[in-house]
Amino acid sequence: MENSEIIQLESRVEQLLERFHQLQSENRQLRVKQEELIADRARLLEKNKLATEKIETIVHRLRTMETP
């Protein structure tokens, strides 16, 4: 293998390592974002559940008020 081929190969390996580290970082960031979104979704589902329960309670009260 010629010296220029070795230099090109070294350069390519360095580029690949740099890209690998970029992808690792991006992957970590995406995992953090995913966990945040999962937590947000859980909070929203809980809020939705509470709102639904309140509405059902109000509807029930209104129905009982209508009955003579």
pLDDT, one tens digit for every residue, the chain (68 residues): 789 999 999 999 999 999 999 999 999 999 999 999 999 999 999 999 999 999 999 999 999 987 66
How much is the pLDDT for 66?
Answer: 73
Q: Name the token pair of 15.
A: 């580029």
Cα atoms in the Cβ-side hemisphere of radius 13 Å centred on 4: 0
What is the Cα–Cα distance from 61 to 53, expressed in whole angstroms? 12
CA angle 33/36/38 to nearest 5° reads 110
How much is the pLDDT for 68?
Answer: 62
How much is the pLDDT for 41?
Answer: 98
Which one-letter amino acid corresponds to residue 14?
E
How much is the pLDDT for 1?
Answer: 75
How much is the pLDDT for 47?
Answer: 98
